[in-house]
Amino acid sequence: MENKTHFASAERSTSQQILDEYKIAGSQKFFTEIFGAMTGIGAVIDKNRQIIYSNDEFLSLLGITSVDLILGKRPGEVLSCPNSFVETAGCGTSRACAYCGVVNTILESQETGRKTTKEAQISGMLNGKNKNWDLKVISTPIVFNGDTFFVLILQDISESKRRIALEKIFFHDLLNSIGGLYGILTVLKEETNPAQTRELINLSEETSRNIIEEILVQRQLRAAENGDLSVSIELANSIHLLDSAILKIGFHETGKEKRITRSEDSANVEFETDKILLQRVLINLIKNALEETEITGTISTGVYQDGDQITFWVKNQNVMPEDVQMQIFKRSFSSKGEGRGDGTYSIKLLTENYLKGKVSFVSNNTVGTVFSVIVKSEFPSD
């Protein structure tokens, strides 16, 4: 079957061509010495975006000792980017690849013949775990024996991106909330009407709860990214978990003047999970749906069982643009602006790395947008 592409060229170099190119790169003693001493993840790719050489730091990241294992592969393929396996032609050829910073950096460098630098968010798999990187990508043309290749450098900027996001949350969002709380307490000191006093107390409690919740969410996400999050498995009830998530998000600012319904035919199932983590996932699903719903609008939720699989779903009526759909689970990406994007990213991270489940979504004019989280009725053992 003929390889097809929705973005970059599907053409690939043959195995023999890759070996010949590898020998050419390896014979450039001055280059290989400098390249080997360089700090950062580095590879040399040919005109078809296939790896013909790499430094030890790249091999170390992948947990391998020989470049032979990745020769001829494209960057997304060695990092197990899921979009690299959508089309038979591999990395760069799916619809989602049009929004990939790595592929676009390479293509621009090839087109202009100049050094090109962009940022990228990559999701992949390392050692069976979901891994997400914020990267600074640099592609630089280099000529060996009259042929042009490209030195590809991947610099991990995840920490700086995370710091920027945290600064936005703590220095902007939380300070605004704390400022609001201070204003409420100032008014409360002067209030003499008992009914107004009770209303102000309730409002201050709600604001305080939201501030604490945001801090706990960020601490939990950080622990999950570092692999330090502990999982506590116990018996849970599907209806109780979903109803509790709906109740909690109802107190949040996002849920005001909007309606959350639960399907009447939702399955009432006892199953094994970490109730705290799964409820966090469900709250994030509902919160995201509410953020995409107009005032007085409604979102629907439910849960059903299919064999040993339990599926929680959350639906809103809006349809996500294609570029949002293609990047929805990437860390640091958000349709709501710079420094956001933790919602769907954390949903996938917690569900697939810790709850051993799966996350998926459908977004079209027929159904709107439906996110689903699938877990097992019995928690899988390692």
pLDDT digit string (tens) for the chain, length 382 residues: 457 899 999 999 999 999 999 999 999 988 988 888 887 889 999 999 999 999 999 998 888 889 999 999 999 999 999 899 999 999 999 999 999 999 999 999 999 999 999 999 888 877 777 788 889 999 999 999 899 999 999 998 887 777 766 666 566 667 767 877 888 888 888 888 888 888 888 888 877 877 887 787 777 777 777 777 888 899 999 999 999 888 888 766 777 788 999 999 999 999 999 998 898 899 889 988 998 888 888 999 999 999 999 999 999 999 999 888 888 887 666 655 544 445 788 888 889 888 999 999 999 999 999 999 999 998 887 6
Other C-beta atoms closer than 10 Å to the C-beta of 37 total: 9
Bridge partners for 139 per DSSP: 116, 152
Q: How many CB atoms lie within 10 A of CB 321?
A: 10
Residue 19 CB contacts under 8 Å (≥ 6 apart), including other chains = 71
- Look at residue 74 and give its three-state secondary structure: coil
Contact (CB, 8 A) for 261 and 300: yes
Backbone torsions φ then ψ of 375, nearest 5 degrees: -130, 165
Residue pointed to by tokens 């706990």: 216
Residue whose tokens read 């592609």? 139
Instruction: Decide: pTM greater than 0.85.
Output: no
pLDDT at position 169 is 58
> Which residue in 67, 62, 66 sits closest to 50, CA to CA?
67
- For 52, phi and psi rounded to 5 degrees? -120, -5
Model pLDDT, residue 2: 57
d(CA 128, CA 77): 15
3-state secondary structure of 372: strand
Distance CA 155, CA 172 (A): 28
Residue 257 is classified by DSSP as T
DSSP conformation letters of 295-333: TT-EEEEEEEEETTEEEEEEEES----HHHHHHTTSTT-
Q: What CATH architecture applies to the domain 234-376?
A: 2-Layer Sandwich (3.30)
At the fourth CATH level, the homologous superfamily of domain 15-156 is PAS domain (3.30.450.20)
Give the pLDDT of residue 224.
77
Distance CA(242)–CA(223), nearest Å, equals 24
